[in-house]
């Protein structure tokens, strides 16, 4: 195992080339929590302006906890996956109710908060509290699997164990470095020629003779993700987002008023479809339907 070498390559590269992102310049655990939740399914470039605006509106767990869910969803608009906003709001309420507004630093206590999984707990513990914890997101997963284990198909369990083994004492800097290397070089199609881990990477060393297979697999993955991006247009996810956005603008809306804001060319025959969509959102706690199911509102 050449852990030291991998660590040296990553940390040296990061010192000169790490991405300067707003949430990396703060030690405020709540601001870091907001960034982590936003980044879960949204790209960095879209998160940056929303992150600043959200924190201006809700600068502390107390401010977020006492806000109406309607205002939180409105501030979240444009980021998608509204369930994350609701989880963040519930997390703030839980931090205020159980921890007097102070975020815990222990990963197990962080994971007990709503919507905080293993990755987010590790990220918060290392970035906000300087704890020696790994944080394995999708990007880091690829880097650890390839560079440390030498296999792109390593299991979740193997990757987390390797992430803990290779973790240096500068855990926060290391986690940031791996996130950047995963985002910039060790992507679905890895750019090994320019990657700073190249001299130490186990996968690179092993796969030198199997390059074509890797490129082939990677480009298939690429095609799939392009197709997925195109599939957003007209998808249920898009319609769910539109419904929430429309409902942030009025106390409640009749289904015939709401429908055209959700689906182009909406007609009466689309009412069962709309009701099904809204019932889904209701099950997720994002929408409330009145008793006769003729009007919808935010809860
Ligand atoms: S050398 Fe290639 S496989 Fe190894 S970490 Fe860098 S991009 Fe990934």
The predicted-structure confidence for 250-289, as pLDDT tens digits, reads as follows 778 999 989 999 998 888 889 989 999 999 899 888 899 9
pLDDT of residue 228: 59
Clarify whether 170 is annotated catalytic.
Answer: no
pLDDT of residue 209: 52
Q: Would you say the CB of residue 149 lies under 6 angstroms from ligand 1?
A: no
CA 25 – ligand 1 centroid, Å: 27
Domains and CATH numbers, the chain: 20-129 (1.10.340.30), 138-220 (1.10.1670.10), 236-297 (1.10.10)
DSSP code per residue over 235-278: -HHHHHHHHHHHHTTSS-EEHHHHHHHHSTT--GGGHHHHHHHH
pTM of the complete model: 0.76
> Which residue shows structure tokens 């083994």?
165
User: How confident is the model over 198-233, as pLDDT tens digits?
Assistant: 999 999 988 765 554 455 455 555 555 555 556 777
In whole angstroms, what is the distance from residue 49 CA to residue 44 CA?
10
With 50 as the cut, is the pLDDT of residue 182 above it? yes
CA 33 – ligand 1 centroid, Å: 29
Highest mean pLDDT among 156-165, 232-241, 279-288 belongs to 156-165
In whole angstroms, what is the distance from residue 74 CA to residue 56 CA?
14
pLDDT of residue 210: 55
pLDDT of residue 224: 53
Q: Which atom of ligand 1 is nearest to the CA of 207?
A: 3
> Strands, DSSP E only, in the chain?
253-254, 288-289, 295-297
Nearest CA to ligand 1 atom 8: 186
């Amino acid at each position: 195992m050449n852990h030291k070498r991998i660590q040296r390559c990553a940390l040296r590269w990061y010192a000169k080339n790490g991405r300067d992102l707003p949430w990396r310049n703060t030690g405020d655990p709540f601001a870091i929590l907001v960034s982590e939740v936003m980044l879960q399914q949204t790209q960095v470039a879209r998160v940056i302006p929303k992150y600043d605006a959200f924190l201006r509106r809700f600068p502390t767990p107390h401010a977020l906890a006492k806000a109406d869910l309607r205002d939180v969803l409105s501030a979240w608009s444009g980021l998608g996956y509204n369930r994350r906003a609701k989880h963040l709001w519930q997390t703030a309420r839980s931090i205020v109710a159980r921890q007097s507004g102070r975020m815990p630093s222990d990963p197990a206590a962080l994971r007990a908060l709503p919507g905080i999984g293993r990755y987010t707990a590790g990220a918060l513990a290392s970035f906000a509290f300087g704890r020696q914890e790994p944080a394995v997101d999708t990007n880091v997963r690829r880097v650890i699997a390839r560079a440390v284990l030498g296999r792109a198909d390593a299991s979740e369990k193997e990757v987390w164990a390797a992430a803990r083994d290779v973790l240096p004492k500068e855990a926060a800097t290391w986690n940031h470095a791996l996130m950047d290397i995963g985002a910039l070089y060790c992507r679905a199609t890895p750019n090994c020629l320019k990657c700073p881990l190249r001299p130490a990477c186990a996968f690179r060393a092993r796969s030198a003779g199997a390059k074509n297979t890797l490129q082939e697999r990677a480009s298939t993955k690429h095609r799939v993700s392009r197709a997925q991006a195109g599939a957003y247009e007209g998808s249920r996810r898009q319609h769910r987002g539109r419904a929430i956005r429309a409902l942030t603008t009025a106390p409640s809306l009749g289904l015939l008023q709401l429908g055209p804001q959700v689906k182009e060319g909406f007609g009466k025959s689309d009412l069962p479809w709309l009701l099904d969509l809204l019932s889904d959102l209701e099950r997720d706690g994002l929408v409330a339907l009145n008793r006769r199911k003729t009007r919808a509102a935010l809860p």
